[in-house]
Amino acid sequence: MTEIKICGLTRGEDVDAAVRAGAVMLGLVFAPQSPRMLGIGMAQRLAGRVPDEVQIVGVFMDQVETEVDKVIAGISLDVLQFHGRENNAFCKQFGLPFFKAVSMRECADVRAFAAGYPDAHALLLDSHGDGEAGGQGRVFDWSGINSEPGVPLILAGGLNPGNIRGAIKRVQPWAVDGSSGVEMAPGIKDHALMQEFCENVRNAADG
Does the active-site annotation cover 91? no
> What is the rounded CA–CA span in Å between residue 142 and residue 1?
20
Please give the distance of CA 61 from its chain centroid, rounded to a whole number. 12
Q: Are 5 and 176 in contact (CB under 8 A)?
A: yes
Nearest to 48 by CA among 72, 88, 16: 16
| CB-based contacts of 20, cutoff 8 Å, min separation 6 | 195
> Which of 14, 107, 126, 177 is flagged as catalytic?
126
Nearest to 190 by CA among 8, 66, 56: 8
Does the active-site annotation cover 198? no
Q: Are 9 and 183 in contact (CB under 8 A)?
A: no
First vs last C-alpha separation in the chain: 14
| Active-site amino acid positions | 7, 126
